[in-house]
Structure 1
């Protein structure tokens, strides 16, 4: 497995892409401390509104979901 496939590396890359679009990736630390995988959400920096990952419940998006969402944004902007 290469370094770029580790979750931390993926998250750093996704945060850079999100920042280009004025977005921030949020991670639920509370879920991690309970022994369950932490979920994610995307917040718009200008309005602090959650734009992805809050339906059906807060922090419901996985890393794969976030990555797919950001890839769609990148495709739309190019």
Structure 2
């Protein structure tokens, strides 16, 4: 397994990409009964409004969900 496949490396790469689109990736640090530690959400920097990962529960998006969302943004830009 290469380093670029580690979750921490993926998250850093996704945060850089999201930042170029004016977005911030948030990670829940508290344990929750349903999600466990580390659910994610995406917030728009200009309005500070959570635009992804807050339905049905706050921080309900997985790392894979966030990755798919950010990759869709990149593909739309090309």
Q: For the Cα contact (< 8 Å) 2:17–2:70, is it kept in 1?
A: yes
Q: Which residue of 2 aligns with 1:2?
A: 2
Deviation of 1:38 (Å)? 1.3
Q: For the Cα contact (< 8 Å) 1:31–1:39, is it kept in 2?
A: no
1:1-78 aligned at under 5 Å gives the runs 1-31=1-31, 36-78=36-78
Matched length: 76
TM-score, length of structure 2 as denominator length: 0.92
Q: Any idea what SS the aligned residue of 2:57 has?
A: coil
Q: Any idea what SS the aligned residue of 2:24 has?
A: strand
Deviation of 1:70 (Å)? 0.2
Q: For the Cα contact (< 8 Å) 2:30–2:37, is it kept in 1?
A: no
TM-score, length of structure 1 as denominator length: 0.92
Deviation of 1:37 (Å)? 3.2
Counterpart Cα distance in 2 of 1:31 and 1:23? 24
Structure with bigger helix share is 1
Aligned-pair Cα RMSD in Å: 1.5
Q: For the Cα contact (< 8 Å) 2:23–2:45, is it kept in 1?
A: yes
Unaligned ranges ≥5, structure 1: none
Q: Any idea what SS the aligned residue of 2:26 has?
A: strand
